[in-house]
Amino acid sequence: MIAVPESELDGWAGVDDNDGSVETWGDYGRACAVEGYIGLVAVGAQQALVLGDEPVMTTYLTNERLFVRWAAAYSETELVAAARRALAGRPDDDDDEDLIWQVQEAAVLFDSAVPGAELDPDERFTIDLEPGRYRVRSTHVVDEDHRMILVHLQPEP
């Protein structure tokens, strides 16, 4: 999954599998090269946020500025509730990864294999963010009934 700035969508080419090698998969290959849960790649004059690791269902909780990546849970409702509990009880240093993302406009979340110019409305989700710098923190959460990856966006002062 990738969150590309809206104005740069046409610049995301997705996958180009000319010879089957990840190095030649075009933009999708660049996204796949991100190691871990989060990373940044250039798209035009801006940066896109890559949600790496497992290709799992992902949702975004607007009020919390939180991506919830579903690895295991009985239901979406339970997973979202567990994510909110985990976020509320999370120490400030409980990160697997941490980076700074400079945001200039809304971003569009979608499967990084798809070219941005070819996205259907049901293949994309717009993330409305205020322009500015965001600290992006990720963590892998496991409890008795859930396993998820949380990616939290925190505005930087």
* Domain range annotation of the chain: 2-155
Return the pLDDT at 80. Answer: 85
Return the pLDDT at 147. Answer: 79
Return all residues near 105 (Cβ < 8 A) that are at least 6 apart. Answer: 5, 6, 7, 129, 131
- Other C-beta atoms within 10 Å of 27: how many? 23
| Residues of the chain falling short of pLDDT 50 | none
Return the pLDDT at 97. Answer: 82
* Max CA distance (Å), the chain: 47
Return the pLDDT at 20. Answer: 55
Q: Please state the φ and ψ torsions of residue 37, each to the nearest 5 degrees.
A: -85, -30
Determine which helix (DSSP H) or strand (DSSP E) holds 5, and give its type and residue range. strand 2-5
Return all residues near 70 (Cβ < 8 A) that are at least 6 apart. Answer: 56, 57, 58, 59, 76, 79, 148
Return the pLDDT at 91. Answer: 63
